[in-house]
Structure 1
Amino acid sequence: MANKIAVASVIAAVGIVAVIGTIAAVTASKKGGDKDGGGMSAGVKLSTVCASTLYPEKCEQSLKPVVNDTSNPEDVLRAALNVALDEVAAAFERSEHIGKGAKDNITRNAMDVCKKLLDDATEDLRDMARLKPVEVLDHVKDLRVWLSGVMTYVYTCADGFEMPELKEAMDKVLQNSTELSSNALAIITRLGELLPEEAKKVNATAAAAAGHGRRLLGWRMREAEEKTSGRGVPAADGKLNEIADVTDASRQLLADTLDEISALSDDASRRQLGLMFAKLYSRGAKGDLLWRRRHLLTMSLSVMTDEGEEQRIHMNHHLDAIANMSTETNRQLLAEELPDDLDGRRQLLSRRLVGISEVAGEAKRQLEAMDQPADDHHRVLMTTNLVGTFDEIEDGRSGLKSSDLPKSAPANQRRRLMQLPGGRKQPSRNRLLTTDVIGTPDEIEDGARSRSGWKEQSGDDAPKWVPGDLRRLLLQIQKPNAVVAQDGSGGFKTITAAINAVPKTYQGRYVIYVKAGTYKEYVTIPKNMANIFMYGDGPTKTVVTGDKSNTGGFATIATRTFSAEGNGFICKNMGFVNTAGPDGHQAVALHVQGDMSVFFNCRFEGYQDTLYVHANRQFFRNCEVLGTIDFIFGNSAALFQNCLMTVRKPGISQSNMVTAQGRTDPNMPTGIVLQSCRIVPEQALFPDRLKVASYLGRPWKEYARTVIMESTIGDLIKPEGWSEWMGDIGLKTLYYAEYGNTGPGAGTSKRVNWPGYRGVIGQAEATQFTAGVFIDAMTWLKATGTPNVMGFTK
């Protein structure tokens, strides 16, 4: 080839070299450990490898210089790394002349962004190149995500140029990069098929000997898990011990809602609950009610000591029981046909959730008196799933007495019965409890703290019985590494100052607490800063705001108010706003490209392009996103669970599109998934919601993929459901699907009839878009402590 291949071509070499390296290792092993190593042989040739790609001729042409019959794995990988460094430098050089001398702000801005994105691709490439051949099989899913990220950076670089001639020139420079990256992605995707069984066995053995710490881009998940569990929610044993002890620390964590416990729930444990509780009922039928009450609600430390491991298993079952109550709450609330107007929805949810809030508080208070004799009015008997019914909780009619209960519970019993002291009526307060359903008012945090008597505590306040690692975690929650406050009461007055002060050699999760206030600054969590946990006082109390927009002279990606580029970023209880308005056109409130990032109880407000899920993997839980056109867009593997999508009133002659997904290759494991979410109009749009055209999404790129599942869709969504981008672009190659949705806008009889629209898919197909599969959440999300459901929610 006359010119050197651009950035992604190197990735193609690395991916294929890894495959061939593994095969060579197998061949050498079969020959009795030949010291010279083995070349390509025994069943897999370069032509066979390249046949699985979209550009097979280019695949063979690019790999022949670095792959031959005498290359051993080490030599090939070393050569690939050296070529990678050379080619990235060449890519920079070839792109520097494009747009040079331009006087308009957008072009100059696009040039800067392009250089940054190619630099990000370089850094990710270096990390991927560090993988040994025997580690490749253990990281197939990761490699697919990271390669997709590099490809996304490449096309984002070109997309930043608005002038057609400049964009065309950049596309031409990066064409080889795109095509050869696609080849590498195809090979990694089919890696399991290409390797013979002997190679898989050798890989598994070698990987086991080397350890299975997940090598991430710039950080190790194992190290992160050992040092901290992300947001700081303890493991099951620690959580139940806190409930039993009811110290200040446990009060805070318990009042932080039952939702946080639901992360520990899974289908297997739920199936065991009936048998477990039947056993407990049977054991306690002839004994005193106090015994049953104590064991069904929690277990004391003395019982744990006496019965050992068996009680630990039971303790985990109790946690699952509490989690089930949260899951059932979510299921019932989302299934209801709630009013589409925001005020009506809030009022109804408030009435429902406040009951749960009061019951949880009452349970906590009764725990403190558990060792004292209790009369019938103060007895608590918990089975498995629900505290009475919502109406009974609200009206104070949950009046079953202990004498009314059966001597032994049937295995299929799925209710939690609770007698409130004195049969008193639940007080009504306009306060939402943060559980499985998102609430946006600031009262969420105020309510949790006022109910729990929360306050910042010293390290000595952590319970002495908490194991060492959990104790350190509790202390980390209570004592952030940095505090940001505009009034000077913290160590920093701006978020940027706090980020700049993070020690470069810091190990573990670095916690930044941002006190209530409106922070008018543009914040970036840099790519080299992993494991940042940032939390505020509430999504409408701690707010980061900016007003950059495309009409103001910025490329779309550069309009962001807040950018999370570091891996493992976790954010809780914060709001991000772009105030440019509908006239600003593209105006991003949050941009995120860090892999394995999490946002919990956050709010993203803007109009067009509010939330940019750029690349890699992200999980959003209990968040609210407000916008108009393409207000959730990008090419990451992004899953939104229990979130509120609030569609705003657009400008004149504009339509609303909730999503605009940017997948450019059929092998990319990316897409946007909305699970157990609600799509509703904001109050200003409500009167005109049937006049303004609103859609679930449109295909930004050729292979766009979006799935709406188990969600409630308001009547603002037009019957056809989805909108075109430009003519027939992507209509044959996109992947749009729906599953298990409810609400007046969920009907699919009048949906679009594009070849790529899958309609309502079956459960087996929908499974691939659940958290455990789609974002590989089982390997990393639990460590963050974020509430989640790995499978289906209904």
Structure 2
Amino acid sequence: MSVDRRSVCSGLAALAALGPSRLEAAGGFDAMVRHRGGTHDSLAAALAAAPPGDRPWRILLGRGKWEEKLAVRRPNLVLVGEDRRTSVLSASAAAGQAKPGGGSWGTYGSATLTVEAPGFVARNLTIENGFDYVANLRDRRVEGAQAVALALGDAADRSVIESVDLLGHQDTFYLRAGRAAVRDCLIAGSIDFIFGGAAALFERCEIRSRLRPGETLQGYVAAPSTPRAQPIGFVFDHCRLTREPGLPDGSVWLGRPWRAGGNPALLGAAAWLDCWMDAHVAPEGWTWMGYKGPGGYPMRLEPGDARFFEYRSRGPGGGRHAARRQLGDAQAARFRRVLGDWRP
């Protein structure tokens, strides 16, 4: 079944602008999750009610904090918040913590919301991982402390994330595979908080680095693990790189190349196009990342060996440091076509 995604998204934008009472009258949703007066009292129940098939299933998430840890496995699932700031989907799981039924969470398994189907749309809400990362810096009870808010899995493709706040610390947004259009979002974190192998276009997003109290190194924004055969990975277009109060100048790297599992078929790719950067961005921009090579020997992938680029960066953290490779006009235009023939 063919789905016109542009008409779906524009229609949802018009519906969300109506306000809660008129939304119901408009009849634009298949399910409404509310503490009172909805069709369901949990998002899990609304997801379970979706019938098989490919037609879009539209869910309105009402105001409130919905403490649920969920996976989307149905194609063309559309999730719209009643209010961006107060419609909050939240869980608190981190890699290394015990999970129900035995064992412990891994990075991917820690996600508050995991998408394992194509055609997913999220709009006008907040998704957070509430794991207390700052407290863990003090007591180190959890090793690693990867805690994902949103994960787009291997079966995800043509995902649209629009006007969403994604909040976490380490590994906030895991774009594992597929294509994603991310627009007008706030993405907040500290360590590798936008990472994975997807082809993704981030447009007009605020990328906010969070304070790690007492730490000299404050973090890394992106950690792409792009397949070597994939020409373009993450593209940040007209985004703003901001910081929490107290975060020092020059203490955050634009990113580092993640070679997941030491796989030589992965070679990180990312580009920052027409972005404004505050002074917390390190002058050199990019840095290396370690991995285990054949036989388990420690190795490192240098940023110069990966595919990292910039184009017309502005602000106190922008500029033309020798280590930050620049694109020309034609090259930047090609990077903006990262999504190929998909026009969300």
Determine the structure 2 residue equivalent to 1:710: 274
Contact 1:637/1:669 (8 A) holds in 2:
no
State the AA in 2 paired with 1:714.
Answer: D
Give the distance between the partners of 2:114 and 2:306, measured in 1 at CA.
28
Larger Cα Rg: Structure 1 or Structure 2?
A: 1
Q: Distance in 2 between matches of 1:456 and 1:449?
A: 6
Q: Given that residues 84 and 164 in structure 2 are in contact (C-alpha distance below 8 angstroms), is that contact kept between their aligned partners in structure 1?
A: yes
The answer for the alignment partner of 1:638 in structure 2 is: 200
Secondary structure of 1:496's counterpart equals helix
| Whole-Å separation in 1 of the counterparts to 2:303 and 2:18 | 50
Instruction: Show the 5 A alignment for 1:53-64.
Output: none
Q: What are the within-5 Å matches in structure 2 for residues 502-517 of structure 1?
A: 502-505=50-53, 507-517=54-64
Where in structure 2 are the equivalents of 1:116-127 lying within 5 Å? none
RMSD: 2.3
Once residues 688 and 533 of structure 1 are traced to their aligned partners in structure 2, the CA distance between those partners, rounded to angstroms, is 36
For 1:523, the equivalent position in structure 2 comes to 70
State whether structure 2 residue 267 is matched by structure 1 residue 695.
Answer: no
Determine if the alignment matches structure 1 residue 588 to structure 2 residue 139. Answer: no
Equivalent of residue 555 in structure 1, options 106, 113, 118: 106
Deviation of 1:605 (Å): 0.4
> In the alignment, is the contact (CA less than 8 A) between 1:615 and 1:634 conserved in 2?
yes
Structure 2 residue 330 is matched with structure 1 residue 764? yes
**SS of corresponding position for 2:95:** coil
Residue pairs, 1:378-777, within 5 angstroms? 455-456=22-23, 458=25, 478-485=27-34, 487-505=35-53, 507-526=54-73, 529-552=74-97, 553-582=104-133, 583=136, 585-593=145-153, 594-653=156-215, 654-665=217-228, 667-682=229-244, 686-690=245-249, 693-701=251-259, 702-726=266-290, 728-749=300-321, 751-752=322-323, 759-770=325-336, 773-776=337-340
Q: CA deviation at 1:721?
A: 1.0
- Supply the distance in 2 between the matched residues of 1:544 and 1:744 (Cα, whole angstroms): 34
Q: Secondary structure at the match of 2:279?
A: coil
Residues of 1 paired with 2:115 and 2:328: CA distance? 35
Instruction: Work out whether residues 589 and 605 of structure 1, in 8 Å CA contact, stay in contact via their aligned partners in 2.
Output: yes
Specify which structure has the higher proportion of strand: 2
Specify every segment of 5 or more residues in structure 2 that has no aligned partner in the other structure, as ranges.
Answer: 98-103, 137-141, 260-265, 291-298
Cα distance, 1:650 vs structure 2: 1.6
Note if contact 1:543-1:577 (Cα within 8 Å) is conserved in structure 2.
yes
Shift of residue 709 of structure 1? 0.5
Task: Give the SS at the match of 2:180.
Answer: strand
CA distance in 1, matches of 2:239, 2:330: 20
SS at match of 1:574: strand
Kept after mapping to 2: 8 A contact 1:581/1:606: no
Question: Structure 1 CA distance, aligned partners of 2:281 and 2:193?
Answer: 15
Alignment check: 8 A CA contact 1:704 1:730 kept: no
For residues 294-348 of structure 1, the C-alpha deviation after alignment (integer angstroms, 9 at most, x for no partner) is xxxxxxxxxxxxxxxxxxxxxxxxxxxxxxxxxxxxxxxxxxxxxxxxxxxxxxx
Q: Is the 8 A contact 1:611 1:631 kept in 2?
A: yes
Offset, 1:508: 1.9
Aligned to 1:121: none
8 Å contact from structure 1 (residues 530, 566) kept in 2: yes
Gaps of 5+ in 1: 1-219, 235-251, 257-444, 459-474, 782-794
Inter-partner Cα distance in structure 2 for 1:733 and 1:741: 21
Contact 1:703 1:730 in 2 (8 A): no
Letter in 2 for 1:535: V
Asked whether the equivalents of residues 695 and 722 of structure 1 are also in contact (C-alpha less than 8 Å), the reply is yes
The share of aligned pairs that are identical, in percent, is 25
C-alpha contact 2:94 2:110 (8 A) present in aligned 1: yes
Q: Distance in 1 between matches of 2:213 and 2:67?
A: 25
In the alignment, residue 625 of structure 1 is paired with which amino acid?
I
Deviations 1:102-154 (A, max 9, x none): xxxxxxxxxxxxxxxxxxxxxxxxxxxxxxxxxxxxxxxxxxxxxxxxxxxxx
C-alpha separation between the residues in 2 aligned to 1:537 and 1:595?
Answer: 25
Equivalenced residues, count: 312
Residues 152 and 176 in structure 2, CA contact (< 8 A), matched pair in contact too: yes
Q: CA offsets per residue over residues 167-200 of structure 1, 9 Å max, x none?
A: xxxxxxxxxxxxxxxxxxxxxxxxxxxxxxxxxx
3-state DSSP class of the match of 1:491? coil
Alignment of 1:360-375 (within 5 A): none
